[in-house]
Structure 1
Amino acid sequence: MRVSGEGLLLGVALDALFGDPKRWHPVAGFGKVASAAEKWVYGDSRWRGVVYAGVLVGGAGAVGVALERVAGRSVLVTAGCTWVVLGGTSLGREGLVMARLLEGGELEGARGRLSHLCARDPRGLDEAGLVRAVVESVAENTSDAAVAPLVWGAVAGIPGLLVYRAVNTLDAMVGYRSPRYERFGWAAARLDDALNWVPARATGALVALFSGRDSWRVLWRDGKKHPSPNAGRCEAAFAGALGVRLGGVNEYGGRVERRPEMGDGRAPEARDIRRAVGLSAAVTFAAAAIVWSLR
């Protein structure tokens, strides 16, 4: 299955110019459908979670196949689908909002805004904890929001774009460990791990290519320490590239995780958020250029 490389590149340009659509965002619509479906299907069972994820992801794939059959390799249709599944620009904008708040000493504002980037409990976080949360989120989501959609768009066309975003959205909704979703969200979380395996490592490699030997060294040494099979590759590469130390204690709704540290540098500071955002954008454009050149 082939997709228009020009369409993917134009979609990246649209995301860079406009960010996420302000109204009638298809991903938000999918999230509403998924929330409604959860009310009907939910049970403390892996099998119910398999059915839930299978039906929703299969539906997204069917829409993608239908669009591709109608539009073929249309540059505009591919661009539109690419635009709505990407989130790199919105990720960068949220990172810069957090940078401005933290640089201005507005800790309460930063705590209130953190949920736009991650599910970490912000209530007990000081400035250092907030900065680390933002840098880690920018690193991980460079793959989730930008590189992975491009990889799957290149591999499987419009269906690949829509299936990837459906899986990633479900993982964000039900894929985290909690008493409610430990079993029900298992299928969504494992699908997300599988679809992000290659993109996360590609993201880490691109970060290291831009940044040099320290990033390669930390990526190779520390990337596997993270409890996620994918997030650690991105975070370790960013830690080495920025010369900072990531990892540590995180709290998610009363659940505490103690993660190994990655990197040999100092603790990240507010100014490092801007550096992380810039690096994320560079990696996104590099990934887009590589995908375009391969089509």
Structure 2
Amino acid sequence: MTLILGMVLDALIGEPRWLWSRLPHPAVIMGRLIGWCDRSFNNGPRRRLMGTLTLMELCIFAGVVGWLLQRVPGTVIDVVILAVLLAQKSLVDHVQAVGDALRLSLGDGRRAVAMIVGRDTKEMDRPAVARSAIESAAENLSDGVIAPIFWFAVAGLPGLLIYKITNTADSMIGYRTPRHADFGWAAARFDDLLNLIPARLTAVLIWTVTTRPDPRHIIKEAPLHRSPNAGWPEAAMAHGLSIALSGPRSYDGALRDYPFVNGAGRHDLGPEDIDQTVGVLWRCWGLALVLAMLGYAFF
């Protein structure tokens, strides 16, 4: 029941500005802790070892905090923490904002999509803006919604907090840059491991609520993605909506010639496709809620 209530609470209130403008969000606290670890321990000749030990300590800390919070009588704390660390409403709002902005002008769309992607947006055309928003929606449905639900269902608050601090660490230090290639190696690899099952579950959910394309196409293209996990929801979304995703894009002024996912799909994307994607996000959430209810009823 805790999982069901947390999902519903997140879908209803999301991330209220009045609250998080006064209090630090738990993800912000995690980020500050990881940033301090990066500044303190990312030095010397054994950076990979230090990064691995740092991640282990962060996970132990998160697990202990989750265990202690779970010991508090009642379910209110569990429900509130789960709702806070889920991102369904926030994801929908951010993705829909790109579609609404793109209807106003290309410049508004570029500024809106820059809030949710890390690639260069100044030279994007209309289809590239829409494509970026849809890719972000697919990937973050897995990372921000399905994975936290999965790990809460498997291991309660300790599982949820371990997943969130690992995912936050990956987003901060899990890059192959000169500074973080070694120190962030463990965070990137452990995040890949924790997302292994949720990413594929997300692909199944997307497949179920869309046109149910030939799953062989998804299975064939998903492993070609630069990420071992993000390719699954992205391929499912591309084929489910019969559109082309991924493809060339620019990071820090350097063009990356990535292949298209479902290259035979429609390339001329716009705000209407973002609207469709938002519908997919809600249908996936609804299906996940039904599965949670069935799990509660039977187990």
- For 2:14 and 2:183, the matched residues in 1 are separated by 32
**Corresponding residue of 1:12:** 7
Q: Which residue type is aligned with residue 138 of structure 2?
A: A
**Corresponding residue of 1:79:** 79
**Corresponding residue of 1:244:** 243
Q: Which residue type is aligned with residue 55 of structure 1?
A: E
**Corresponding residue of 2:60:** 58
**Corresponding residue of 1:186:** 185
8 Å Cα contact 1:16-1:89 kept in structure 2:
yes
- For 2:275 and 2:149, the matched residues in 1 are separated by 24
CA offsets, 1:228-274, max 9 Å, x none? 11100000000011110112112222454332221231113221111
Q: Go from structure 1 to structure 2 and tell me whether the alpha carbon gap of 1:215 and 1:236 turns closer, same or farther (over 3 Å shift).
A: farther
Matched, 1:205 2:204: yes
Give 3-state SS (helix, strand or coil) of 2:71's partner.
Answer: helix
- For 2:158 and 2:185, the matched residues in 1 are separated by 23
CA offsets, 1:2-21, max 9 Å, x none? xxxx1111111111111124
* Range with greater deviation from structure 2 (14-23 or 188-197): 14-23
- For 2:90 and 2:244, the matched residues in 1 are separated by 25
TM-score by length of 2: 0.90
Q: Which residue type is aligned with residue 289 of structure 1?
A: V
Identity of aligned residues (%): 36
**Corresponding residue of 1:278:** 279
Q: Which has the higher contact order (CA 8 A, sep 6+)?
A: 1
Which blocks of at least 5 consecutive residues in structure 2 are unaligned? none
CA offsets, 1:132-152, max 9 Å, x none? 111100011111111110100
Deviation, structure 1 residue 126: 1.9
- For 1:186 and 1:31, the matched residues in 2 are separated by 17
TM-score by length of 1: 0.91
Q: Which residue type is aligned with residue 147 of structure 2?
A: A
- For 1:11 and 1:28, the matched residues in 2 are separated by 20
8 Å Cα contact 1:152-1:164 kept in structure 2:
yes
Deviation, structure 1 residue 215: 5.8
Deviation, structure 1 residue 217: 4.1
CA root-mean-square deviation: 1.7
8 Å Cα contact 1:91-1:117 kept in structure 2:
no
- For 1:166 and 1:103, the matched residues in 2 are separated by 36
- For 1:270 and 1:163, the matched residues in 2 are separated by 36
How many pairs does the alignment contain?
Answer: 287
- For 2:214 and 2:91, the matched residues in 1 are separated by 22
CA offsets, 1:10-59, max 9 Å, x none? 11111111112431211112112222222111237212221222222221
Give 3-state SS (helix, strand or coil) of 2:248's partner.
Answer: strand
- For 1:20 and 1:186, the matched residues in 2 are separated by 31
8 Å Cα contact 1:249-1:259 kept in structure 2:
yes
**Corresponding residue of 1:260:** 259
Q: Go from structure 1 to structure 2 and tell me whether the alpha carbon gap of 1:172 and 1:115 turns closer, same or farther (over 3 Å shift).
A: farther
**Corresponding residue of 1:112:** 111
Give 3-state SS (helix, strand or coil) of 2:100's partner.
Answer: helix
Q: Which residue type is aligned with residue 11 of structure 2?
A: A
8 Å Cα contact 1:164-1:195 kept in structure 2:
yes
Deviation, structure 1 residue 171: 1.1
* Range with greater deviation from structure 2 (198-207 or 173-182): 173-182
- For 2:277 and 2:115, the matched residues in 1 are separated by 17
- For 1:110 and 1:271, the matched residues in 2 are separated by 13
Q: Go from structure 1 to structure 2 and tell me whether the alpha carbon gap of 1:157 and 1:203 turns closer, same or farther (over 3 Å shift).
A: same
- For 1:180 and 1:110, the matched residues in 2 are separated by 32
**Corresponding residue of 1:221:** 220
**Corresponding residue of 2:35:** 35
Deviation, structure 1 residue 78: 1.9
